[in-house]
């Protein structure tokens, strides 16, 4: 879960300049997929890989701004089916297990022995899944807006839970669907987002994106439009993953947390995150002695919220001194 991160501008001096990549790659990973990968910062710096949200959100220049470019080698990539990766909006051979293999292939091709994982929302889900699969290649995790991929979290967001706080926005999202199908909004939207008619896909992609974006930040201005290709990729991929329970066993990321219990972690979590409520971050951190949970006051879900952004910069600056 996540949407256009830079939609809500951050005016905070602690963010680093956007900068430009020192290298970009078009990386074939099999199954007809070619990933867009970029490297920023210092070529010999401490490696950190940025895992974007969604699924389907893609990375953006804004996501480079949390890292001191003189210290970090920052790797960003668009996951299968979104952003500048091709083919766009494709769900063929697109599962969590495929993405884990992609991350590992990127690491190997870039000659990185181990790296920090930086991910928010769905990016936090993917960071945890990758770390549990390849703990020997991870030096630490920096997570934001934790999403564990559980049914309870999906029910909260798509089953009417959070609608108690946003009845007006929920009605706009729900009313695109006939009353007899509103008991399973993920399945109802799936039927339309994967219709044979591209016009039908486009018609339902935007309300899917708008619903999530409307709840992303305490100060956010709801989005009423988005580039059609972006909305289609975001909605189709996110819906595909959620229909399939994120291709994870129920409770898997908590069950397997012992595999990464030795790794240091920091969680930056908005106290009033309505997309990914703090309970998931709390459950993940409880009993993880090496995990530092930071509940951020007066903040929601968005990466671009000032307090969230500032604290993420603080975390990354702190790691320069501790050298995880």
Q: What is the pLDDT of residue 219?
A: 73
Q: Which of 273, 285, 299, 304 is catalytic?
A: 273
Residue 153 is predicted with a pLDDT of 98
* Selection from 177, 147, 136, 178 nearest residue 51 by Cα: 147
Is 289 a residue of the active site?
A: no
State residue 224's pLDDT score: 67
For residue 186, the model assigns a pLDDT of 98
With beta carbons less than 8 A apart as the criterion, state whether 128 and 134 touch. no
pTM above 0.85, yes or no: yes
Using alpha carbons, list the distances in angstroms from residue 153 to 130, 182, 293.
20, 18, 19
Angle between helices 198-214 and 185-193 (to 10 degrees): 140
- The question of whether 121 is a catalytic residue gets the answer yes
The CATH number fitting domain 5-148+248-322, selected from 3.40.50.1820, 3.40.50.10740, 1.20.1630.10, 1.10.530.10: 3.40.50.1820
**In the chain, helix, strand, coil percent, each to 5?**
40, 15, 40
Catalytic one among 78, 301, 304, 310? 301
Low-confidence ranges of the chain (pLDDT < 70): 2-13, 220-224, 322-324
Token output for 68: 């001191």
Q: Is the peptide bond before 154 cis (omega within 30 degrees of 0)?
A: no
List, in order, residues 6 or more apart from 230 with CB less than 8 Å away. 4, 58
Query: Which pLDDT score, from 0 to 100, does residue 247 have?
Result: 98
Catalytic residue among 121, 220, 280, 310: 121
pLDDT in tens, 219-249: 766 666 789 999 999 999 999 999 999 999 9
List the one residue out of 86, 85, 81 whose CA is nearest residue 241. Answer: 81
Is 52 among the catalytic positions?
no
- Alpha-carbon distance of 273 to 275, in angstroms, equals 6
pLDDT the model gives residue 5: 44
Residues of the chain with CATH 3.40.50.1820: 5-148+248-322
Do the strands 23-30 and 291-296 form a parallel or antiparallel pair, or are they unpaired?
unpaired
């Amino acid at each position: 879960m996540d949407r256009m991160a830079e939609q809500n501008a951050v005016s905070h001096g602690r963010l680093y300049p956007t900068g430009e990549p020192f290298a970009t790659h078009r990386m074939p990973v099999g199954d007809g997929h070619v990933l867009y990968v970029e490297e920023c910062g210092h070529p010999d710096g401490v490696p950190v890989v940025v895992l974007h949200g969604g699924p389907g959100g893609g990375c953006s220049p804004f996501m480079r701004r949390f890292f001191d470019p003189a210290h970090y080698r920052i790797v960003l990539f668009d996951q299968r089916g979104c952003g500048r990766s091709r083919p766009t909006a494709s769900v063929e051979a697109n599962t969590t297990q495929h993405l884990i293999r992609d991350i590992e292939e990127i690491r190997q091709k870039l000659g990185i022995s181990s790296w920090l994982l930086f991910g928010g929302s769905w990016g936090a889900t993917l960071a945890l899944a990758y770390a549990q699969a390849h703990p020997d290649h991870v030096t630490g995790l920096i997570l934001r807006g934790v999403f564990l991929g559980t049914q309870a979290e999906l029910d909260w967001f798509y089953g009417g839970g959070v609608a108690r706080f946003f009845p007006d926005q929920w009605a706009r999202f729900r009313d695109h669907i006939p009353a007899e199908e509103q008991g399973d909004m993920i399945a109802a939207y799936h039927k339309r987002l994967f219709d044979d008619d591209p016009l039908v896909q486009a018609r339902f992609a935007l309300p899917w994106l708008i619903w999530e974006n409307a709840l992303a930040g305490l100060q956010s201005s709801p989005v009423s439009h988005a580039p059609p290709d972006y909305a289609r990729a975001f909605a189709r991929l996110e819906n595909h993953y959620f229909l399939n329970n994120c291709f994870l066993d129920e409770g898997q990321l908590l069950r397997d947390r012992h595999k990464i219990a030795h790794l240091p972690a920091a969680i930056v979590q908005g106290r009033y995150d309505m997309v990914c409520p703090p309970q998931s971050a709390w459950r993940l951190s409880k009993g993880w002695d090496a995990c530092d949970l930071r509940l951020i006051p007066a903040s929601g879900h968005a990466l671009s919220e000032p307090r969230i952004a500032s604290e993420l910069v603080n975390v990354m600056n702190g790691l320069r001194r501790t050298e995880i």
